[in-house]
Copies of this chain bind each other. A is one copy, B any other.
Amino acid sequence: MDWLDQIKWDADGLVPVIAQERSSGDVMMFAWMNREALARTAELGEAVYWSRSRQKLWHKGEESGHKQTVHEMRLDCDNDVVLLRITQQGHEPGIACHTGRHSCFFQRYENGDWQAVDPVLKDPESIYK
């Protein structure tokens, strides 16, 4: 049985994917993959997601240069979530977020509100030029 057939794809043929930075353990981002995206990721050793908004394959970093080298791929107990252990390329420290921040999870719950608590490392206008 093919490893791709073992994934329980959802009704849209997608699987949720968590990208975790190997060096720090930080959860960097969350995205989706279809079968082709996961196959390409394994083939390239770089994260290729499925963009639900653009409805096409999204080789992370193709515009920004902030590619993700994939060291390890894991699958959960229900075979319906993938975890990637990555190195975030193109900037030091790594920038995974389109806002120019290290991680997409930069808003922290505090006293009944979400507060942006992590710094912008690079102006998004200079990332996507």
Contact = CB atoms under 8 A, between A and B. Distances in A.
B81 A30 contact: yes
Count this chain's copies in the assembly. Answer: 2
A42 interface: yes
On chain A, which size bracket covers the interface?
Answer: 35 or more
A114 B75 contact: yes
A6 B29 CA distance: 19
A128 interface: no
Given A3-B114, A16-B16, A25-B24, A107 B74 contact: yes
Nearest to A108: B74
Given A77-B99, A79-B107, 4 more contacts: A72-B108, A75-B107, A77-B98, A78-B104
